[in-house]
Amino acid sequence: MNMDYKTVVALIGKELQDEEVKAFLDEIGIKYPKKDTIGGSAEDWNFGLSGKKAGVYLNFDIDVKNLKYVAKQASRKGVFKPILSEVDFNEKTQFTLPFSVTFSSTLDALKEKLGGPVLNENLHPSFLWNIMLDADKEIEFHVEYRIEEKKVRNMFLKIKAFRELFRLYYTQYGETMESALKLSYVYDKQEEKNAKRYSTIANKAISAESIKKKIFFLLWAVDNDYLDLGEAFKGDIEKLREKKMDVQEFALKAFKDNPFITLDNFVKVDRDFVNNYNHNLYLDDVYSPLRGQYYGKDFENAFSKNEDELKIASDISQLQYSEENRRLVSEIVNKRHDEFMALKKSKK
């Protein structure tokens, strides 16, 4: 068996049920799975198939973070057709690889063929290459060379994924922007599991309070001219900034077909701050004074005096997108932004 990587490139992005994918599985000795769909309520939204003889591992996904590749619903509601999103090669691969690199390629050879790498200084120091192989299909070629081991550790082809900050709703759970905005929760001691706090289909994916937090963060970005959703929404963003457009009307229009908010949507602001502050990362010791001071916590402290989770959820769920609340959120986030940037400057 001796195959060309271009065969894989042609298949990435296709559904598992595609006849070409089925034929490929048969060719490399992979038995077609008994279950070829994934339900949105499943714990995992992806699975892999191992082709040991061919030295490949195929990843199928219903949550590909690229709007060119949205998983389609199968015959049953809430069940989706997985897409071939990534193909990993190992040392025994029977495929020729891009730029004629192999797992035995030296570092000098890799630099000559792939250009200069990026240094990754995490747990396993390594040199990384991330090369766009097919711009139309947005397929990338990734190579990892472990410095201590002095060898290539990983090589794979995958669909380029955007850098997700958060999402406003989950299509896999049957949610829409409209259904997320309708979520509302009022604390009831006799009924702690108020159905309106979560979408009943969503299996607690998006809650009434989480959608409020996310919309308010986007309003901070709008009010500071940091949000970029493309040319089509520039006018609406301007109207929203000038308080000439209703917040929910804007959300319904801007996010009707796209639940994802990515780091690339933020301009003229430090994206490290946006990511760290939302997810309480602050892994670098320089930012240790900010650990535990993240957006969700700051938001809850500003708008609720309660300590009980359900009472906090109720308080936040009832918030209005008023000018005063927008101003308060901007003050909180801008303060954290200034603190972050001061620490980042001290790092240099």
The pLDDT score that the predictor gives to residue 132 is 97
Give the domain-ending residue among 135, 159, 183. Answer: 159
Same domain membership, residue 191 and residue 324: yes
Q: Using CA atoms, how far apart are residues 117 and 131, in angstroms rounded to an integer?
A: 10
The answer to whether residues 340 and 319 belong to one domain is yes
Helix, strand, or coil (residue 294): coil
Token duo for residue 277? 């502050």
Instruction: Say if residue 67 is in the same domain as residue 101.
Output: yes
249 lies in the same domain as 119: no
* Phi and psi at residue 340, to the nearest 5°: -60, -45
Q: Can you read off the two tokens belonging to residue 257? A: 């077909």
Domain that holds residue 101: 3-159
Pair 79, 181 in one domain: no
* Residue 25 phi, psi (nearest 5): -60, -45
Query: Based on the domain organization, do 31 and 50 belong to the same domain?
Result: yes
Both 107 and 186 in a single domain?
Answer: no
Domain boundary among 159, 191, 216: 159
Do 154 and 185 fall within a single domain?
A: no
pLDDT in tens, the chain (348 residues): 689 999 999 999 999 999 999 999 999 999 999 999 998 666 689 999 999 999 999 999 999 999 999 999 898 877 999 999 999 999 999 999 999 999 999 999 999 999 999 998 877 899 999 999 999 999 999 999 999 999 999 999 999 999 999 999 988 888 899 999 998 888 876 655 555 677 654 455 688 999 999 999 999 999 999 999 999 999 999 999 999 999 999 999 999 999 999 999 999 999 999 999 999 987 777 888 888 899 999 999 999 999 998 899 999 999 999 999 999 999 999 999 999 999 998 876
CA–CA gap between residue 29 and residue 14 (Å, rounded): 19
pTM reported for the whole predicted model: 0.87
The tens digit of pLDDT for each residue in 51-68 reads 999 999 999 999 999 999
Check whether residue 182 and residue 115 sit in a common domain: no
Q: Which of 99, 126, 159 is the last residue of a domain?
A: 159
Q: Same domain for 178 and 43?
A: no
* 219 and 330 share one domain: yes
For the chain, the domain total comes to 2
Alpha-carbon distances of 52 from 28, 92, 140, 143, rounded to whole Å: 9, 8, 23, 20
Contact 119, 127 (CB under 8 A): yes
Query: Are 7 and 109 contained in the same domain?
Result: yes
Are residues 212 and 316 in contact, defined by beta-carbon separation less than 8 angstroms? yes
The strand pair at 56-61 and 46-51 is best described as: antiparallel
Non-local CB neighbours of 310 within 8 Å, separated by 6+ positions: 187, 192
Cα–Cα dist 180/173, whole Å = 11
